[in-house]
Amino acid sequence: MLTPLIAGNWKMNTTIHEGVDLVLKLRELLKGADNAEILIAPPFTHIYHLSPLIADSPMRLCAQNIFWEKSGAYTGEISGEMLKSAGCHHVIIGHSERREHFKETDEVINKKVIAAIRDGLKPIVCVGETLEEREKGKTISKVKLQVKKALYGLGGGALRDITIAYEPIWAIGTGKVATPQEAEEVHNALRELLHELYEKESLKNTRIIYGGSVKPDSIDQLMSQPNIDGALVGGASLKAEDFARIVRFLPR
């Protein structure tokens, strides 16, 4: 079985001091936690500072975004090499908030995924449908297309380092979590798609994680589904006790 992945997406929250406090609490609460790979994705400004604080903990650092060029005149952007040198191992790409507020297209997301792999970072690629798309029965076709476009041009070798995050947009930050069955149906369809696109061998480590209002009281049921390999946690990752409980979900 794949080691589950639990990632905390802090979004644009916390000052550096608040971030340090949160990490120090998590260090205590997560001592000895070994049932999952644990990531925290703080704002860019915090990454380098938090890196030594988590060195002897089970947490690792993840960025919330990346730019695809290596360096140059791109005011305001951050490259993969910069993220790696600050201590990141993973990067979230194509979060629905970036698609919505910053107009990131599937093509942009594909460029970022390719750049992350080139620069030695492991992408967490986010896909998900709107409420309207779900109500019209378009969920599976929408997310499959998003995955195909995000992975366009990538060979099987890259899939070892890629995680797909299924995040229904209607569930993000709304308190409305998808039922374990709703999530499982989509995860299963995405797993089938990956098997159509790539050799089985390349997919041995490819996780499909769920995101959207994951809380301590919903994680155990979600994780009991065969195709849910972890969680991308927003709001609840800002509360140390909640995030620690999510990380210590009860095994299947």
Task: Give the residue numbers marked as catalytic.
Answer: 95, 167
User: Is 81 within 8 Å of 71 (Cβ atoms)?
Assistant: yes
Q: Does 65 bind ligand PGA (CB under 6 A)?
A: no
Q: Does 217 bind ligand PGA (CB under 6 A)?
A: no
Q: Does 235 bind ligand PGA (CB under 6 A)?
A: yes
Least spacing, CB of residue 93 vs ligand PGA, in Å: 12
Q: Does 172 bind ligand PGA (CB under 6 A)?
A: yes
Q: Does 88 bind ligand PGA (CB under 6 A)?
A: no
- Of 76-84, 114-122, 146-154, 229-237, which segment contacts ligand PGA by CB under 6 A? 229-237
Q: Does 214 bind ligand PGA (CB under 6 A)?
A: yes
If we measure between CA atoms, which residue out of 45, 154, 147, 160 comes closest to residue 93?
A: 147
Q: Does 37 bind ligand PGA (CB under 6 A)?
A: no
- Of 18-26, 61-69, 128-136, 208-216, which segment contacts ligand PGA by CB under 6 A? 208-216
Least spacing, CB of residue 13 vs ligand PGA, in Å: 10
Which residues bind to ligand PGA, rule: CB under 6 A? Answer: 9, 167, 172-173, 211-214, 232-236
